[in-house]
Chain A
């Protein structure tokens, strides 16, 4: 059973709409991540967070924004959706410390599949 929850699982919207993808985890993890998975299945990091009030851009430029007001919550927002934003978005979290082992293991949510018409 998942300890990290993403909603909605599927979303179809029109161009120009504002959307928020929700991600919550119950494991008390400090670090959280958003990955974008394209149709070819490659995953690209678009945002990450070290902890509350900490957010950083990932390796792939994205027009989306994120916030981290609470440890367990890491929502992703698109102010004006476009067809180029059509993709699957995966949220993940990991413990905040280095070794011992387990610190780098990401737990993933089930994903939010976004289609912008």
Chain B
């Protein structure tokens, strides 16, 4: 079975600073996708960043980047220059390449941005 663990229920950061959210996972597959999703309060879940396991280069999307350590099964999200709009629940997720491609989510990390 695939599992995803986010060990930080809550994090806070000062506006304009950098914060890193942790995620570890377990899977028996050699190829898979990893994701970070963002869920703002009472709003729709949206994709932040995506990483394919066979790609060694860490994905980046503007202020968001990941540190993907395949051997350690670790997938952390770094948010640079934090903005008030970054406040949300962040979910790490894992999906198989084949089959139903079901996403398995972590427990979530609530990120607060302090002005």
A interface list, Cβ under 8 A from B:
2, 31, 33, 35, 40-43, 45, 48, 50, 56, 58-59, 90, 92, 94, 98-99, 101, 103-106, 108-111
Contacts and interface: CB of A to CB of B under 8 A. Distances in A.
Which 5 pairs of residues, A with B, have the shortest CB-CB distance? A108-B45, A43-B105, A104-B33, A41-B108, A104-B95
Contacts of A106: 47, 103
B75 interface: no
B47 A105 contact: yes
Contact of B44 (A56, A94, A111): A111
Contacts, number: 57
- The main secondary structure of chain A at its interface with chain B is loop
A7 to B, nearest CB: 14
A58 B105 CA distance: 13
Contacts of B91: 43
Interface of B: 33, 35, 37, 39, 43-47, 50, 52, 89, 91, 95, 97-98, 100-105, 107-108, 110
Given A104-B33, A106-B103, A108-B44, 9 more contacts: A35-B105, A43-B105, A45-B103, A92-B103, A98-B98, A108-B45, A110-B43, A110-B44, A111-B44
B50 A101 contact: yes
7 contacts: A33-B102, A42-B105, A42-B108, A59-B104, A98-B97, A104-B50, A111-B44
A16 to B, nearest CB: 28
Contacts of B35: 104-105
B102 A109 contact: no
Contacts of B110: 41
Nearest to B102: A45
Contact of A94 (B39, B52, B101, B105): B101
